Structure formats: structure tokens, C-alpha cells
Amino acid sequence: MAKPKPSLAKGTRDYTPSMMVRRYYIIDTIKETFQRYGFLPLETPSLENLSVLLGKYGEEGDQLLFRILNSGDFLKKTRADDFQKGYKHLSSKIAEKGLRYDLTVPFARFVVMHQHDLAMPFKRYQIQPVWRGDSPQRGRYREFYQCDADVVGTGSLLCEAEIILMINRVLQKLRLPPYTIKLNNRKILTGIAEQIGAKGKEGALCVAIDKLDKIGREGVTEELQTRGFTDTAIRQLAPIFDFQGTLTEKLTLLEDFLGDSTDGQQGLTELKQVFTYLEAYTGKPADQANLAFDVTLARGLSYYTGAIFEVKVHDTTIGSISGGGRYDNLTGAFGLPDVTGVGFSFGLDRIYDVMEEFALFPEHTETTTQLLFTNFDATAEKYLLPILEAVRAVGINAEIYPSAVKLDKQLKYANRKGVPYVVLVGSEEMATQTFTLKNMEARTQETVDLPTLITTVKEMR
Amino acid sequence: MAKPKPSLAKGTRDYTPSMMVRRYYIIDTIKETFQRYGFLPLETPSLENLSVLLGKYGEEGDQLLFRILNSGDFLKKTRADDFQKGYKHLSSKIAEKGLRYDLTVPFARFVVMHQHDLAMPFKRYQIQPVWRGDSPQRGRYREFYQCDADVVGTGSLLCEAEIILMINRVLQKLRLPPYTIKLNNRKILTGIAEQIGAKGKEGALCVAIDKLDKIGREGVTEELQTRGFTDTAIRQLAPIFDFQGTLTEKLTLLEDFLGDSTDGQQGLTELKQVFTYLEAYTGKPADQANLAFDVTLARGLSYYTGAIFEVKVHDTTIGSISGGGRYDNLTGAFGLPDVTGVGFSFGLDRIYDVMEEFALFPEHTETTTQLLFTNFDATAEKYLLPILEAVRAVGINAEIYPSAVKLDKQLKYANRKGVPYVVLVGSEEMATQTFTLKNMEARTQETVDLPTLITTVKEMR
């Protein structure tokens, strides 16, 4: 009986070895950077009680949570009328657990559960998949990775400065093309709302301004009108949109604009302090090409209360590749108030896409296989085994083709696997203790002794 | 209103930073080893269609699968009588996806879906969590990691030999206490069944012998009786249980015992070839303390058809920490017959437990923070920031305490985080461009210049 072809669940994907090699290249750079700055790894379970997840992501988020059927007879505790009341009601009776939707809520849960034994300030990073029941579309999957780092338990602006240093380190190590880290502060937006006579409406202001990139200035104006901003208020915003000049000019203009707004001036002071810190860290002026104070950066999420930042690569349509901000109430939903912190994340898939677009992935990494010994016959095979172990012992990723099939097939295997060096050994090589070393890319070959073989292959990386 | 304390889902756990640092230490060693032997990483989705998972793990396994409620109105396609037919029936109507139960079935699905574009032999490793709805108990979780490596598409026994080399490399890098890799071959067990007049009953024989460690020889005898083995057959097994002596003696005895059983002799030939290969690779006799031919090793899983192996650490009650074997029909369930391969896995949690029991984890790894700069005041802070960046640039994981709180609190932070070196800088140090470097473990301190500081901290690891 013919069996049906197996398929992937909708919205999911396999990461093939060639994708994984590239993903590790990015992830290892991010991990190394987090660790260099004193962040330690954390992992939380994929499954969380729905009581932890529900109500944290808005109504739409609740809908998108993947729910796990209770184990065993999940109907045991249900009554006849549970079925009449519709699927939302029924799901609460038959599913108590869900799949993690992001890394922030499980992190908040962790902080609350471990509040008495964490060394504060607590610096953690977390690189794990999350799940959302979105309609799959190009570039949007139901399972994808997030890479977060957060410091909680301190309001020090050194943390904001170090986040910018970490972003620069990662993107420069990966040799990304020119990008801009946009920086702003929510308190400045609060101050602006105050100064245009819309005090307390900074939330609506942020949501509207956040769309500037997508809908343009006219769109934002319309959105503000819809959200009840007066024409006078909107007119007063003009200098904010027209904002030009050097960092110093921008800061002066804004200091003026914000006038007697305590929040606004506080935001400005914080912003300046981050720039001052950056100058101290690097010994260079902070007003560099890749860092820009952007007063129109708003970021939609309502929980940010201080610095906010976002990173975009120039000359591509791929969206922001990193972003974050400071919050004052991470754990309030779990009954622990006043936990301040600042966090950010790297968009792994988007960084991957940028690197593909600009062809930035190295051919060979720590992960890939460097050397294939071909298998001529049983004698050559036996001769090569201790040599194979010897090259592995000095750090070369190597293998021997596992049977003496036609050479052509063995070379094809090396090519398809992207192995850059192949060694041929027949009776002549064995007699002279030499190796015919083929460079698969250059399509050249030379006769070498073992030390030269090792040096040549090791130098490649 | 007081909010309820959040909790973990039953059977799950957080991996705290101190656990993660240790887990990475093991995982990085395993990954490096797999890569050194030419294996490349693969990741498959956590969610699989239930059609892929069901029927692959026996009835008990099907029961333990975590099922995901269909997104949106999962009752849309149900009819009234679906509720009367019980939970098993209903679940098939409202849940189409499940969480991966192991890494083997998703791997088989992957091989079938990519059969035309994989470079065969295909060598992949996979380190990902799996989920099982078991009753949680000490050491048994509902979410845990598996670390698998498989070669498919070749019957070469070089693969078996290399698996043993990889196991040795990992366990020796981790400095595990004495252990034994037990090796056997399913075909030998088939031959034994033949020779005791129980041809075709090697499955039952394996299941019974597999319990030898747990229920002893008498228990196995009873089990065999229950499973319909005659007393004569059981008596004939005696030499197998009494099996003693050197490898050569064992092989000779068995060659005799297996007589004209084609399968049995074939298994013996394969076994000998693996030993011969190992001697060629290492230049040492294969009959070493940590490798043993054990004819009573059976491994329960029915899909093994050739070599089988299992690793146990001496002097601990912790079960086997690694195991695997050769199979001839990985993908048959998905309609692709005759895919032969050999695979094995490391038991990450058990290796972790062994290393805890024998206190084998290093205090400091690539992951941990090596150096904390204390924060005396704004002047010292500003002075230290470029120095902090400089030590990071040479590869030291370092941080500055983010505010100028009491020194005592800063030192406590270093201690709790396990940071081995702390730097104190006040006006005197700044004037002389020196650093007071505290060794937190030795409780000593010395005054050093920057190069000495860097050398001292780097040498620690």
C-alpha cells in the first residue's frame, strides 16, 4: 500500500544543514557578544500555564496562542453545556497549557519566581523559538526564534549605552552593510504631547508617529486627527517632523521645544547621558553615521517608559533588525511592581535575510567540514584511518568517504556538501607518504606532506 | 488586588544561568565533536502534523503525544456525535498537530521529503527539545533535550567505529570517570535465537535480555518462560550468560555457538570488523577497558538490525548516558524503503547528573563573566569605560557595576554571580594608572598595570 507523502505542519519549516550553518554563524556571534558584556544564558520551558500567558498580549495575542490539549481524558472535567458555549469557553476547560508566545513574559515569570535568589542587577540573554498562530505568509512563520537580552534591577543608563555597543559589535562582526541605530526616549514623546496641548495622549501620539515610515507624514496627520488631536496641536508638531541638523542642534531645538515639561526635559537629559557615556566608552564623538537621535521613533509597544531604539539597514526593504527599550514595570502583571529594566532583541531571521541579500555569509565556518579523504580501496582506507584521526586531533573537521565507490561519486559528494579540500591517496602516495590535495574551488591540486596538508587546510578558515 | 503567584507548567523547568552555563559546556563539546567528524546540524519544527507522529511510538507513545488545539474555532468541523464518542475520537477532530516526541521520526520525515537533494551518505546531528506527556517524577520531565547524530545512506561499518570514537572523545573531553561502551549486534542475537531452537523469536529474546540489569538472570529466565521459550532453549542460553574472558576468547566461543546460523555469523563478522577498524584508527588494541563486547546487550527498540551500543558510567546508579545502533528501515513508515543508517544519542541530562555527582564542571567557562569593574563614583566610572571596552576587545567577558552603590554590595554581586576577578579603582589608582585586582576565590589582591591585569584574567581559563 502506498503511504501518503509526509508534510510539514502549516507555517513551519525545516532548517537544513546549509541554513543551520549560517544560523549558527549569526547566533554564535550574538551569544559571544552577550557574554562579553556579562549577560548569562537562560532557558524557559516551551510550555507555560495559560494563566501565565493569557491577557499579556492583548486580545489578538490571546487568539494566536497555541493551546495544548490536556493529557489523558481531557473531557473528564467537562459538562454537557461546556460544548454549547462555544470554542473559547470549551478551550479553557480542555487546555491548561500553551506554547510560549514571546520570551519577555516567561522572563518576567522567571524573575518573579526567583526574585529572592537572583543577583541584581540580573543580566540574562535568551535565544529560543516562540510560536504564534498567525496566518503564514512569505517570511512569517508560526514558529520562529527570538534573541533577547535584558538587564533588570537597575535604572543605570550605562545599560542603554552598552546595548548600543553590543548592537555595533554584532553587526560589525557580521560585516553588515551601513545601518543606523535610531535612538529616542519615551519621556521626550510625553513632553512633546504636553507641549502641543495633548497631555496624557502620548500613547496615541506614539502609535501614530510609529507609522511614519509606512504611511508618511500626511498619513500620520490623518491618524492624529482621527485620534482626536486638534489641528493646532498637529501644526505645533511641525518642527518635530522638520527636525534637521547635527546632534547638538537637534538637542538645542528640542530643549527649547520641551520648555517646562518635566518629563520631556528628563527624557532629554537621559538621552544626552547615553551619548556622553558612548563617547566615554569609545573615545569618539557619539554623533556617528550609525547612531542617530530620531524624535519620530516611537515603537508601538506601550510598556516602554524610557530609552527606545531600533536598527535599520540602509538600501534594503528588510525591516528593523534589532530594537528595544527601557520599561518600568516588567513584572507588574505577576504582582511584583517597580522592576525596572532595559532590553533589546536581534531579529535573527531578518539579519539572515540581509546577509543573504548582500551575500555576506562565509563559505566555511567552525561548523562546516573542511576535508574529505577519498576511499580508494581497503588498503588505502586502512592506511588513512590513523591519519584522519590525527588531522581531527589538531582541530580539522574531516571525514573519509565510507566506501570505495567510484572517485567521481566521492568528489560529487564533496562538492554537494561544500567540502573545500579533498585528499586522494593511492599506492604511490602511500609509498612516498605524501597526499594529493585537491582544492575544490580553485580546481587545483598539489602533492604535499602531512604537515603541509594540515597547514593548508587550517589556514583556509 | 493581589495577583496569584505564577507557576511552571507541570513537568517543566527553567534552566537558570548557572545550569545553562553547565549545559552549554556539555552541548558545545558534543557539537564540536559531531562537527569534527563531518556531521552537520539540522533543526526540524517543534510542531508536526499528527499524521507524521501517530503510530510511530506504539500505543503508549500515541497517548503521550502533546496535541495542539487547532487555531481559531476548532469546533467548526465537529458534529454533535463527535462529543459522544469520547476524547480519543474528539481529539482527532480538534487537534491536527502535535509536539515532537523524539528526533528520529522528524528526521525520517525530513529525509523522505528531501531524498532527491541530500548528498548521500547524509550525516546530520540534531540537538533540540522533545515533549512527552509522562507523569512527571524525579529526573523525568515532560520537556527535555535529545542530542542525536545519524549517518544514513551507507552500510559502511566505518560509521559504527566512528561513533565509538566520538563517544570516547566527548566523554574524555568532559573528563568523565571510568565508563564502558558496550557493543553487540542484533544479528548475533538473531543467530542465538536460531541456535537455541527459537528461530524468529529474537524480538522476545531481546526484550527479555534487555532487562538483565534490572531483574537479574532469574528474572530473565522467568520472562523467557512467560514468552514461550522452552526449558531446553533457556538451558542452552547458559554459555551466553556465563560468557567470560578476553575479546578473542569471547569471539571464538560465540563463533562456535552460532555454528551454521548465517545471520549470527554475519553479525559476528560485522562486530569483528568494527574492532578491526577501531584498531586501525587508534593504533591500539580495541579490547580496551572502556569498550566491551556484551552479548547480553539487546536494547529494546525493535528497529535496530545491526550494531547496537550503550554507555554506562561505573560507580553510579545513573543509567546509560549514550546509546544507539544500526537500522535498515528508517523511512519505511513514510513510504521510502531500504534507507539504512546508524545513529546514536547522548543523554544530556544524565551526563549533566554524572558531572554533578562527580563534581566535574569547571567553575569558569567561555560563557561566564571573568571580570567586574567596581563603580566608585562618576569620575572613576568615566575613567573605566574605555578600559572596560579594551579588555572586552581582547576577549575577556567583563562588566562594570552599573551604579556607585556601596562596595560591599558590588562585591556581593560578584560573588553571587561567580565572577572570579574584581577591579577596584579610586583616585590613587587613576593617578598611577594601576588597578587593584582582587582574586575573589583566593581572597587576595594585588596592584597591577593593564597588561598584567589582562594576562592574569586571561590565564585563569
- Which residue, among B28, B31, B34, B47, would best test binding to A if mutated, counting the most A CBs under 10 Å from its CB? B47
Contact (CB<8Å) A392/B335: no
* Residues A29-43, mean pLDDT to the nearest whole number: 98
Q: Which of B4, B109, B143 sits opposite A45 (nearest CB)?
A: B143
Give the number of A-B residue pairs with CB atoms closer than 8 Å: 295
pLDDT given at position B345: 96
Burial of A388 (0-12, 13-18, 19+ CB in 10 A): buried
Question: What is the least distance, in Å, from the CA of B243 to any CA of chain A?
Answer: 31
Contact (CB<8Å) B119/A416: yes
For B221-256, the pLDDT digits (tens) are: 999 999 999 999 999 988 887 777 888 899 999 999
CA atoms in the 13 A half-sphere facing the CB of A174? 35
Question: What is the least distance, in Å, from the CA of A249 to any CA of chain B?
Answer: 25
Looking at beta carbons, which residues of chain A come within 8 Å of B123?
A: 399
* Residues B436-443, mean pLDDT to the nearest whole number: 96
Please list, in sequence order, all residues whose beta carbon lies within 8 angstroms of the beta carbon of residue B357, skipping any fewer than 6 positions away.
Answer: B316, B318
For B73-116, the pLDDT digits (tens) are: 998 888 888 888 889 999 999 999 999 999 999 999 999 999 99
Please list, in sequence order, all residues whose beta carbon lies within 8 angstroms of the beta carbon of residue A130, skipping any fewer than 6 positions away.
Answer: A99, A100, A101, A102, A103, A143, A144, A145, A146
* Residues A2-15, mean pLDDT to the nearest whole number: 89
Looking at beta carbons, which residues of chain B come within 8 Å of A112?
A: 5-6
- Interface pTM, i.e. ipTM: 0.94
- Taking the model in full, what pTM does it have? 0.95
Q: Which of B20, B97, B399 sits opposite A37 (nearest CB)?
A: B399
Question: What is the least distance, in Å, from the CA of A58 to any CA of chain B?
Answer: 16
Share of chain B above pLDDT 70, in %: 99
Looking at beta carbons, which residues of chain B come within 8 Å of A82?
A: none
pLDDT given at position A286: 79
Mean residue pLDDT across chain A: 93
Q: Is the pLDDT of residue A1 over 50?
A: no
A126 with A42: CB under 8 angstroms?
Answer: yes
Kindly identify which residue of chain A lies nearest to residue B278, measuring between CA atoms. A385
CA distance B346 to B344: 7
pLDDT given at position B58: 87
pLDDT given at position A278: 95
pLDDT given at position B2: 58
Q: Which of B37, B45, B66 sits opposite A12 (nearest CB)?
A: B45
Q: Is the pLDDT of residue A246 over 90?
A: no
Q: Is the pLDDT of residue A50 over 50?
A: yes
- Provide DSSP, A19-43: HHHHHHHHHHHHHHHHHHTT-EE-B
Q: Is the pLDDT of residue A293 over 80?
A: yes
Looking at beta carbons, which residues of chain A come within 8 Å of B97?
A: 9
Instruction: Specify the amino acid at residue A218.
Output: E
* H runs (alpha helix) in B99-246: 104-113, 158-173, 186-195, 202-209, 212-226, 231-236, 238-242
How many other CB atoms sit within 10 Å of the CB of residue A15?
Answer: 18
Looking at beta carbons, which residues of chain B come within 8 Å of A412?
A: 119
pLDDT given at position B5: 86
Burial of A92 (0-12, 13-18, 19+ CB in 10 A): middle
Q: Is the pLDDT of residue B417 over 70?
A: yes
pLDDT given at position B1: 47
Dihedral in degrees, nearest 10, Cα atoms B419, B420, B424, B430 = -110
